[in-house]
Each structure stands twice: as structure tokens, then as C-alpha cells.
Structure 1
Amino acid sequence: MARCGSKACWFGLGMALGAVVGGACAMLVRTATQERVLRQRDAPMVPSDATADQALTVDATDVVEYRGFVIHVFCHALGMGRFKALCDIWESGAVVLEGGGPPTTHVTAEESRSAAIAWARQWVQRNG
């Protein structure tokens, strides 16, 4: 092993060791962040029939009028037996809430749609 007799030598050795440890820490953080991004819970899965969920994601699956507001409900298939509905709420031709909805998923598109409509009606009662 090489001998270090001066302060400059020890300083250089400390800098090199710090760079190695810092690089290793940065690599660990980057790997952990990439793994977390890959494990998103609500990431859509590809259905076995690619056209099976197109009707659920292209247009509003339901439009409801409630207390002068228009509620547009959009159902999304997240995977086998998992549906989530979001809604846009309009008043006088302007969007007052975009992409709101209950934070849960449902087994059927109909359950998801019903839950989103109930959630939107409550929102209108509180904020309308």
C-alpha cells in the first residue's frame, strides 16, 4: 500500500474516497426511484382483447344534469375487474371541476359509474 505522509496526500485520498461513496449513493437512489416508478398501483394493464375497453375510455360513458350542473362521467378499465370513473362538472358551459371522482376502484364499470355520479352530486351539494 502506498504511504501518505503529507496533508495534501490525505486530502486527495479523502476526495477520491468521497467521490466513490457519493457515486455509489447516487446510483442507489436512482435505482430505488426507478423501481418505485415501475411499481405504480393504478398503471393500466393491457387487456387480452385490445378493443374491450375502448368504449370505456373514448367518450363520456354518461352525462347527468343535477341542480343546473352537467356531470360528464368517464370510466377507465385499469385491468381485469378494476374500473375507475372520473367526472368533469360543468356549469353554464364552463368546467368547474375536471377529473374529480372517488378515490376507489370497482369491480364493474357500472359500479364505478354509479359511485362517480354519487360523488359528483355530493360535490355539487357542497360547492354548488
Structure 2
Amino acid sequence: MAHCQSRACWFGLGLLSGAVAACLYAWLAQGVRRDAGTCAAAAGRADREYALDTDPLAEAEAATDIIEYRGFVIHVFCRALGGGRFRAVCDIWDSGAVALEGGSPPSTYPTPEEARVATIAWARQWVQHNG
């Protein structure tokens, strides 16, 4: 542990640890690949039947999109609901903390791409009104 006698020293240690955390996050974010079929994982599971009232956060899975907008980080998750319907939900992060968990437009979509686009638009509006 560092031996600091002044507030300036502690402030400097705080900045340093924040910079290290930001570098780690940037390094991890580079490992996330977005391919052309951003919700392909959800589309591939379309044959699995989910009830329409299933909790969209019940299954943990990797985000299909990670977007930065106005300093917020938006993680989009796609779900196949069955019957050719898809839903996407998002978590919105601000300064490393969850600002909103499981937000989404209140409808389902016929394709995973439409669900993804609608959820990203919904998240951007949320940031504009709450950020």
C-alpha cells in the first residue's frame, strides 16, 4: 500500500488507478468482435421456443453490440422468443456503473436486426433524456 501523507498524493493514486481501469476496459473491448449478423447468435437459437412472457434477462449471454454514445456505454443483447419473434434489451453504463439494466422498447420484432436497431435507437433516446 502506498504511503501518502497529503490529499494530492491520494488524488494522484486515484487518477492512476482510474487510468489503469480504463486501459483494461479498452483492452477488453477490443476483443469484442461485431460481425455483419450482429444478432446471429439469437437467430441461430430461433428454433428454441421461448414464451413471450419470458424474462428477457433470464439467460446470461454476451452482448451482441457494444456502443459508446455521449460518454455512455450501451450493451445490446438479442433474444429469440420463438415463433419468428425477436427482442433485444440493453444495459446502459455511465462511468463504469450500471445506469439502466434491461431496458428495451416495449415490443418484439420479426428479425433480430430490427430488434437490435430499435433497441439502439431506444437506448440513445434514454441517454438524451436521462444523461
TM-score of Structure 1 vs Structure 2, range by shorter chain: 0.5 to 0.7
Pick the aligned partner of 1:97 from 97, 100, 125. Answer: 100
How far apart are 1:123 and its partner, in Å? 0.2
Map 1:76-95; keep pairs closer than 5 Å: 76-95=79-98
Alpha-carbon RMSD: 1.7
CA distance in 2, matches of 1:107, 1:62: 19
Kindly tell me the number of residue pairs found equivalent between the two proteins: 77
Cα offsets for 1:11-67 (capped at 9, x unmatched): xxxxxxxxxxxxxxxxxxxxxxxxxxxxxx6146xxxxxxxxxxxx72101001000
Distance between the aligned counterparts of 2:90 and 2:53, measured in 1? 19
SS in 2 for 1:125: helix
Alpha-carbon distance in 2 for matches of 1:43, 1:95:
24
SS in structure 2 of the partner of residue 76 of structure 1:
strand
Q: Secondary structure at the match of 1:60?
A: coil
SS of the residue 2:115 aligns to = helix
1:42 maps to which of 52, 66, 70? 52
In structure 2, how many angstroms separate the alpha carbons of the residues matched to 1:43 and 1:90? 26
Gaps of 5+ in 1: 1-40, 45-56
What residue number does 1:20 align with? none
Percent identical among aligned pairs is: 68
Cα distance in 2, alignment partners of residues 120 and 58 from structure 1: 19
Which of 69, 78, 82 in structure 2 is aligned with 1:66? Answer: 69
Aligned residue for 2:118?
Answer: 115
Is the radius of gyration larger for structure 1 or structure 2?
1
Q: Per chain length, whose mean CA-contact separation is higher, i.e. which structure has more relative contact order (CA < 8 Å, sep 6+)?
A: 2
Runs of 4+ in 1 over 3 A off after TM superposition: none
> TM-score if structure 2 supplies the norm length?
0.55
